[in-house]
Amino acid sequence: MLINIFKSSKPYVLGLIPIIALSFWGHSIYDGTLAIAEQAMPLYYAVIILLTDFPVLANILAVILIVLQAFILNNIIEKHQVLSEKTKIPALIYTLLICSCPPLLVLNPILFANLFLILLLDRLFLTYRSDRVLTNVYDAGLLIGIAAMFYLPSIMFLPFYLISLSILRPFNAKEWILSFIGFLTPMAFVAANFYWTGELADFLGSLRISSLNVFTFESALVIPFLPLILMTFIISLIAAKSYIEEMNRRVVKVTKMYGVFTWFFVFAILSLLMAPSFSVVYFSIVFIALSVYLANFFVTFKKKKVAEFIFFLLLATIIYSHIVPL
């Protein structure tokens, strides 16, 4: 039933997204869980310093970010006609995935990074067969730089961006140089601020990636969510066929955009290797590409009742992941 509702192209359907997000976040907002500062960067620290004494407000901000990201992602997919029809399913899937288990229900730096990485996709797609792209390529680099100043592993999306730019348009040295300038701009401003306060050495020390030898796997934190992980994996395997078929069936532009989302998924997974621990929180970046991937399946799958049942199983495992830790 929920899938059929969100298949509609009516804008008012998106009004359900805040309700769905709040239904998962209600307890966290009331409980006032403190924001996560692990693997954070200066821009995120600037936010949590302001919200340290206001944990409820911090979690309200997290919900606002999630809803905003769901809206923007859905708008980008519709604007660039990534899916075969206009639908609000990407917004639904993204919201459910990013609210899928309790560890995700707290303000964290990845929520800010995701906003800028989603906007990056729009700047990328605008470069396709466009003669005026200098503003867009600078903005793309700038967005990655800002994301990295919230969550350092976001720098993995610089090579993603360059690969994607090569997919969408011929190589142009000026565009690549301008992209790098955009990427370095936020870092330059942050570094200048730390230099002014005499803390430049501390800032440069924070630009250190967690290595694999300090990477920890906390199995106790993962086991309760195995049903959700397995169900998402199984649905993804089922969706693989429709995803490949769509890549072969659609026009060249859309095929290229599917390639961009595929590379986004690859680099999102690679960014997990830069995280300090194997925690579900760090999977939040993966959910951007996964939302499009699963949305394509629910849009193109012809047997509606089967699609509803598969979605019900996904929703059931999400609800289960919230009940078990209680």
* 305-326 tens-digit pLDDT: 888 899 999 999 999 888 876 5
> What percent of the chain has a predicted confidence (pLDDT) above 90?
44
Angle at 222 between CA 218 and CA 226, to 5 degrees: 155
pLDDT of res. 206: 67
CA distance 138 to 266: 23
- pLDDT, average across residues 133-151: 94
- 8 A C-beta contact, residue 105 and residue 30: no
Averaged pLDDT of the chain: 86
Please state the pTM of the whole predicted model: 0.91
Please give the pLDDT value at position 143: 97
At 102, the pLDDT band (50, 70, 90 cuts) reads confident
Dihedral sign (CA 313, 314, 316, 317): positive
Q: Which residue has the higher pLDDT, 32 or 130?
A: 130
Residues 119 and 98: their CA atoms lie apart, in Å, by: 17
